[in-house]
């Protein structure tokens, strides 16, 4: 039966950032287009050739570094490209600045993000961030989105020394919240990294698919063991663990924590 006692089991809501609090995919598309234009104008590299070089750089850096926060450092990727092209290294720095300034500059908050965070805070819910990426850029994004004022604590994979879905990053977020895992609701767009990662740490999780809906089929969703927010039951569990929800709007979080 729906939970209607008026006492929330959830004491903290912890958010992912990219494709959760804003559309990373749309912002990346704009930023990468700016990079291709720069490469064509300043490096005399055709867009298709630049895309191939960028893919090569990504794969080389991932193979060298493994799964750690440094793989998100785009300056390293652009350095790889510029060194391979035997161009002046200053281009790598300019490309990094261009990419991030463009991406952050065109980013806008997800629908109702600020309203939901404000209402959660007003109801006494602690708000946190648990995100892959380097800390500086994630702080900068939250500031640009106008959401950092609602956040009580932040955990980045750079700080945790582990990328999602590793338990270590979620355990650090839970520790910073000051609550038990079952009292912390995690919200993110990746079923594998966010939902299953949080679930493995004992946290209920909400799979937020607003920004990735175009990539999903009905099968993608129907095959996942998820509980809709509208039928929230505090006794419900998936495979003996905490609840996992599927939401398409952030306002649905208010139903879960009610």
In tens digits, the chain (258 residues) has pLDDT values of: 233 333 458 999 999 999 999 999 999 999 999 999 999 999 999 999 999 999 999 999 999 988 888 888 999 999 999 999 999 999 999 999 999 999 999 999 999 999 999 999 999 999 999 999 999 999 999 999 999 999 999 999 999 999 999 999 999 999 999 999 999 999 999 999 999 999 999 999 999 999 998 888 777 777 787 776 655 444 444 555 788 999 999 999 999 998
Contacts of residues 197-200 at CB distance under 8 Å and 24 or more positions apart, as own/partner, are 197/164, 197/165, 197/166, 197/167, 197/169, 197/170, 198/14, 198/170, 199/238, 199/241, 199/242, 199/244, 200/165, 200/167, 200/170
Neighbours of 180 (CB within 10 A): 12
**How far is Cα 197 from Cα 160, in angstroms, rounded to an integer?**
14
DSSP 43-80: S---HHHHHHHHHHHHHHHHHHH-SSGGGG-HHHHHHH
Question: If phi over 0 gives left and psi between -120 and 50 gives alpha, with beta otherwise, what is residue 146?
Answer: left
- Does residue 117 contact residue 147 with C-beta atoms inside 8 Å? yes
Residue 223: its pLDDT value, please?
76
Residue 230: its pLDDT value, please?
57
Residue 118: its pLDDT value, please?
98
Question: If phi over 0 gives left and psi between -120 and 50 gives alpha, with beta otherwise, what is residue 207?
Answer: beta
**From 3.40.50.1000, 3.40.50.40, 3.30.1490.20, 3.40.80.10, which CATH number describes the 12-22+109-256 domain?**
3.40.50.1000
Residue 4: its pLDDT value, please?
38
């Amino acid at each position: 039966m729906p939970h209607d006692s008026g006492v929330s089991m959830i004491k903290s809501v912890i958010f992912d950032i990219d494709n959760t609090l804003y559309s990373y995919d749309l912002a990346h598309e704009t930023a990468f287009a700016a990079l291709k234009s720069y490469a064509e104008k300043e490096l005399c590299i055709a867009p298709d050739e630049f895309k191939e070089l960028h893919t090569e750089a990504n794969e080389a850096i991932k193979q060298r570094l493994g799964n750690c926060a440094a793989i998100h450092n785009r300056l390293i990727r652009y350095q790889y490209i510029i060194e391979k092209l035997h161009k002046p290294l200053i281009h790598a720095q300019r490309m990094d600045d261009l990419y991030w300034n463009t991406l952050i500059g065109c980013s806008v908050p997800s629908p109702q993000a600020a309203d939901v965070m404000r209402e959660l805070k007003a109801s006494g819910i602690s708000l946190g961030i648990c995100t892959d990426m380097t800390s500086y850029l994630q702080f900068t994004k939250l500031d640009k989105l106008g959401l950092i004022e609602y956040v009580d604590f932040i955990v980045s994979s750079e700080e945790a020394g582990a990328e999602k879905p590793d338990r270590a990053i979620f355990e650090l977020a839970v520790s910073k919240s000051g609550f038990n895992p079952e009292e912390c609701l995690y919200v993110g767009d990746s079923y594998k990294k966010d939902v299953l990662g949080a679930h493995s740490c004992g946290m209920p999780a909400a799979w937020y698919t607003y920004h990735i809906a175009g990539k999903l089929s009905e099968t993608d969703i129907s095959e996942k063991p998820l509980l809709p927010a509208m039928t929230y039951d505090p006794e419900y569990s998936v495979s003996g663990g905490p609840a996992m929800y599927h939401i398409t709007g952030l306002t649905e979080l208010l139903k879960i924590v009610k």
